[in-house]
Amino acid sequence: MESQTAPGLHVAIIMDGNGRWANQRGLPRLAGHRVGVEAVRHTVEAAPGLGIKVLTLYAFSADNWRRPPREVSALMRLLGHYLTQETDRCIATGVQLEAIGRRDRLPASVVRMIEDAERHTIGGGKLRLRLAIDYSARHAIVEAASRAQGQGAEAWSKLLGPDVDLLIRTSGEQRLSDFLLWESAYAEIVFTSRMWPEFSARDLADAVAEFHRRDRRFGAIAGSNSRRTA
């Protein structure tokens, strides 16, 4: 069961554009994914200083299984490498790492690495880093419905995860792609043309600054029970 979010922002990012970034440079698609890992590292390092308490990254969607088997295998190896390399860094910097999504279709070696990373970083209190792997929001909602057993929206939210405050999508695409649909009901959304391998700590700070400039009304009218994000 997902725990409720602690004070601080929940930022979710659809990390898009790795393959196109590589294609534009005449490089193999996997080169874009490798550089994208560096963007993940910069983003995780910058997040706590920007008031982000929960960071959810869309690493591999349920639809990504449709990609060529060779690319999928390479992505799984890259994911395993990331988990192995970053677990110690997460421990040292107070980052709690967890994965959301299905695990029954992942390679057994990757599942073991996920479980090891989750177990060893469980005490991290600086940032809750959630990797969405083999993730589909529709599937997650169906699973929550089967477990909620007639309970209300609060129970559903505990099963699915904390509400998203800010959702960012890179590469210029403007769609949610089956990502955190329930949790993003009132999320502020920032679309950027920046490809994910180019995404920097400065880009994250700019998106958070844009979030704080917005007036979040949650269905009310300005001047009643609406509130600014700052």
Which residue type is seen at 163? Answer: D
In the residue annotation, 203 being an active-site residue is answered as no
In the residue annotation, 18 being an active-site residue is answered as no
Q: How far apart are CA 121 and CA 94, in angstroms?
A: 8
Which of these, 51, 34, 16, lies nearest to 204 by C-alpha position?
A: 51
The residues, ordered by sequence, that sit 6+ positions from 72 with a Cβ below 8 Å of its Cβ are: 64, 65
Terminal Cα distance for the chain, rounded: 30
Strand ranges of the sheet holding 95-100, from the earlier edge strand across to the other edge? 95-100, 127-135, 52-61, 9-14, 166-169, 188-191
List the catalytic residue out of 64, 163, 178, 206. Answer: 64
Which of these, 120, 64, 131, lies nearest to 92 by C-alpha position?
A: 120
Residues classed as catalytic: 16, 64
